[in-house]
Every structure is written in C-alpha cells, then in structure tokens.
Chains A and B, each alone.
Chain A
Amino acid sequence: MKIDGMEYEFPEGMNVLQACESIGIHIPHFCYHPALKVVGSCRMCKVEVIQNERKRIDISCNVMVQDGLEIITDSAPVRTARRMTLEFLLANHPLDCPICDDAGECELQNYYLAYGRNDSRMREVKRHRRKATEIGPSIMLDGERCVLCSRCARFVEEITRTRELGIFGMGSSEELMVNPGASLDNDYAGNVVDLCPVGALTDKDFRFKRRVWFLQSVPSICQLCSRGCNVRIDYDINPFHEHKRNINMRTHRSEATRYARIQRIKPRVNSDVNGYWICDRGRYGYRSTDAADRLLKALVRGENGLEESDVTKALKQIASGVSSAVGKGADRVAIVVSPRLTNEELFAVHRLFRERLDMPSMDHRIPVDPDWYGDDLLRTPDPFPNRTTCEWLGIIPADRGFGITELPDAIASGKVNTLISILADPRDYLDETAIRKLKRRYYILRQMPDDLREFTDVALPAAAWGEYRGTFTNFNGRLQRLEAAFEPLGDARPVWRLMTDLAPLLKKPLGLKSFDDVFAALTHKISLFADFTWRNIGDEGVMAIRNRQEVTA
C-alpha cells in the first residue's frame, strides 16, 4: 500500500495508524492505544484514504492495512478536518494549563500548537463539570478536562478487569466517572494517569509537585519484585532545590522528603517484561531513596554509644573484627545478603567473602514480607528483584556453614559470633536476644531505623535506588540495566565499592577499581553473562537463559 506517495509493505492485521507510526509518521490521536481495543471515539486521527479511486476522510485507527490502499496523512482537507475536531474537543475545555499537572506532556496542548485556531468561536457559556474529584486513593479526576477518549475505562475493563470507571450520560453531557459506590483502588490504578492523553486523570502523589519540564529522567528497573518492570525515574536536582534540601536536611530531617530528588516513577514500554504498565507498588515505592532515616554517615560504637565516623575508620573496625573472628574459624562469621543488591554488588560480596576469605556461612534467603502478594498481571510472589543471581552465584551456605534458618541455634551455641548483614534488617530473621548475644554486628544499610541503633556495632551507608548503576536478573533470567540518576547522599556508596575498599584492609585485594571492572569480572564469573557488555544489554535487557532449567553457576 501507499502512504504519502511511497510504497510500503505491512503485515496483515495492522491498522493504518500503527502502520504510519511504524514508518515514523506521527498521526495525532487520543483514543487509540496499542494495548487497548480500538473504539474510534476521538476522531482526531483522520487521514485521507483513497480506495477504489474514491477519496474519503476516515479515522486511521479503524482502517486496516490492505492492498491498493492509498493514504495521505497531511493535506489541506486532513488538516481542516483535524482542526475542526480539535475545536469541538476544546469547546468546553477549561483554560487550566497553568494549574494542570499534565501541562507540558499533554496531547491536547501539542495538537493545539499544530492544528489549533488561536481564537475561540464559542459564544455559549462553557459547560462546567466536577473538578478535582477524588476517584481513588491515588487518582484525581477533573471532569472538565476529559476528552472522553475512554482509554481509562477500557483499561479497567480489559487489563485489570476491575471495571470501576464508566462513561455516563449522552451527547454533550457525557461524563467519565467511577461507577456508583466504587473507587479506583486496584493495584494498577496509577496506569490510567499515563493513559489519559490530557490532564483529566492526575496522580495525587504528583499533584502540583513539579512542572514536568523541570524533570530529568533515567531508565531504571523497579526493585520491588522479581518481575523487574522497566521504569523511568523522573528526578529534579535544580541547584536551588539542592541548596534548599540540604538546609532542610540539616535542620529538620523529617521534612527532607519534601525536597526529594525522585519526583515520580513512570513505566517504560517493554513488551517482554511489563508491556505498558507498572503496578502501584512500584509507582509509589520510590520514597526510600530520599527518606528521612537514610543512613548518611558510617556509625561506629564508641565509648558513648554509636558515633558518626568516616567510612574508612568504620571499614577498619570491620576488618579487624572480621580477621579476629576468622582467626578462630571462618564459619564464625555469618553473612546475610539481601537479594535487593545488584549483580555487581552481589558479585563483589561473593568474591570477597566466599572466594577470597572462604566463608561458608552466607545466605540470601531472608524471609519474604508476609504482606506481599503476587498476581497474574505483573506482580510476582517474590518481592526481591535479584534472587536469580544470588542462586547463580551460589550465595547459599557451603559445607559446615549456617544458613538463615540455622542461624539462631548457631548463635545460641556460640558457633557464630559475628554477623554481617547487607541491606537486610537483622530483626527480620533473628530475634532480639540472638542479636544481643552476637559479639560483632556489622550492617551495610540504606536506612537506619532508630530502634536498630542499640543492636549495632558498625553500620555503613549504602547507596539507594537511583543512586547506583548496576544490573538485575529477573525471575525469568532476563538481565536488565539500571542507570544512576544522581550521586549518593552523604557518605553513602554502592556496596561493591565498600567491598573493594574493605578487601585491602583484610589483605585480600579484589583488584577491581571501577564499576566497569566489576561488571567485566562479573561476566567472566557467570558464564551465562559471557556475551554481554554494558552496552549490548540495552535499555530493554537481554535474556541470559532460555528457560530456568539451564541454570548453572
């Protein structure tokens, strides 16, 4: 078929809109969405269709590609048709852009610039609708801004099957609303905000927080379950903000979240992992990075209790503690590693403690939060992003070693007297008497709850999500990349860096200087990663295995 005078071939079953997008011609549209059924309600996607020598203007989302079709995407009649459609859509639209959170990423604004007329011919009074209505715990609806594209209604109908939203009324009194008595509170509700082409549905979490044009973004991977949904971190570190935030950090830390760097999380499209969606847990689960209880300095137990110190001093303390414990037997040191670490961090931990120091008591199987549940859309039953690599590296107890389940007994009988807990709160897997009985308790943590302080001997600050680069391997064996959005706060640094700094103090240098060294060494270590480089993983990740049965360490 022909588009704008050029011959193309497309597979059967594609519609014209998709076909045009695939060759880089953008057709304005509101209601069409690749993951949802076609309804053809907005009429914005009009193009000229020439079929059997007859010319007509038709909506491109509802015309299938076929032989002999000719499409003209940009001509005077097409532009007129689009302009008239837009005029109707804008007839009752409020002038809300200055206070609308969608301004800057609003399709209506974009198309208005392309096809709008700059004067209004509207003589009648604009129809008013409900504004700023809460329709769910995280979603606000502004009825006046809605263009009735029904994307959101189709999403809850087709994807989540929860059917909270519907379009009520007829003609110009048509209105989108939640069904009576319902509330848009399913686990994927946040996605309707991304779907809505205008600012009718906005996120309460992002409400008025920041204008979108201030945001910068990096691609990342959600760290809250083993699906590893592809996300985008939208952050903002304007120098004035940074300055303000630092002032606030110093004076009243609890307010620090107000000047958080991560402003919101948005999904990235990856048809092999998460499609177009992410769950609400992933969408709103970014607060830990800028949380008020972030550990920013190393803590070392001195004469007056826990004192802030520099990281080198804390590392020295750990090194001397570990060496004296190892002197009496390497199995006296238990190392608990959270599967929240990236591959590189896990690798560095494994190389130091297992390969160099030959410590048998090492485990990653910390108990799963009982409130977590999986579902059949995206969420997996495992809330840790990187268990696969823990298994591939063999972060499990070796002969004579103690796993997490045997740890309480081993501590009670005095066989283990030193604990190194990496990104895991020891109270999750040990009771308080056991922790008290330990002689040395070393933690690497991102957040330091105040009530953990009395159980701490040394705590090192670790970089939080968004502050480090790395890779995760999802439950399916897919290797995916995270980019760092900004520098770690305070003295925090990635765990692999702490390991490479700790190793020389234990007289076992790892010989890894930079992140690239660690990544290269990792691909040597795990044979499944042998073909991968940082670059060829790409933004969408690569499969390391075909199915999970091929697993070898």
Chain B
Amino acid sequence: MRLPLLALLAKEPAHGYELKQSLEQIFGDAYPSPNIGQIYVTLGRLEKDGLVRAVDVEQSNRPNKKVYYLTAPGREALDTWADEPADGPRIRDEFFMKLVLAPMTGLADRMVLINRQRRHYLGLMRDLHDLAERTAQDDRVALLLIEGAMLHLQADLDWLERCQEELP
C-alpha cells in the first residue's frame, strides 16, 4: 500500500483518515477497505524511510492530528514506480503444490481437488458478478477492477482444465 499512499500525498498533504477515505472513494466497493491501523503503520514506515514527513496540526478540543506530506525522495520513489512496468500476476502456486504433491502422499485424489477448486472459483465468480451488479454502472474504476478479477479467475479455470487433462 506504500506507493498508492505516496501517490495520494503527491496530490495534496493529508492525514491518515483522509487517505483511507480517498482510497474508498476512488476504488469503490471493489477494493478491500484498508483499515486505519494499516494506513498508520504504513505512514510510519514511509516517514522512517524519509519518503514522507508529518506535521502536527492543532485541533480544538481534540488531540493534534498529523498531516503527512511528500518529501523529495518520496517524489523520486513515486516517479520510479510510475516509470516501471508492474509485476505480472502470480500463479496460484499453493493449489498447484497441493495438486502435484497430494496424490503422491495419498493425501487426496487429484480429481477431487480439481473439482473442489473449480467450484470454489465459480463461487468467487458469482460473488464478483453480484458485486458488479451492486456497483454503480458509471463507476468505471470499480467495474474495471472487478472485470480484471473476473478475467484472472477465468485464466485460473482454464489452467485448472489443462491440469485435469494433462495430469494423470
């Protein structure tokens, strides 16, 4: 979550709770809401690394709040991030390990594993479908995120089929 937070701070200085709200607002239902603790932990690390700095702002009747802003090294880290291609998706290796190893140890039958996994993916697909239905149709960001997740799931299912065909 480090770099998304830096990106938001590049727009304007903000305190932790505002960052949480921005993420929710921009990414909508599709993004698992980051909890505020996670955000503060991340901000603390960014501060330690010198990528952001915080100033205390006094509030009446309330404890001071910390407003974070981007430093020059922070800006640099952000530029590097923007300039690099992102990593490709990771394969679901945990399932693959299970699939290859479980039958060897007599732990489980391959066909059973594959069938269970297929149903699980289809259940997830159904959830994504429901999520897409509940999402406002003009919320392009959230809908694209959901569609991306659906396409990844589709690839996982296709791969499952290949495993079923190729592994005895």
The judgment on whether A and B are partners is: no
Residues on B facing A (Cβ under 8 Å): none
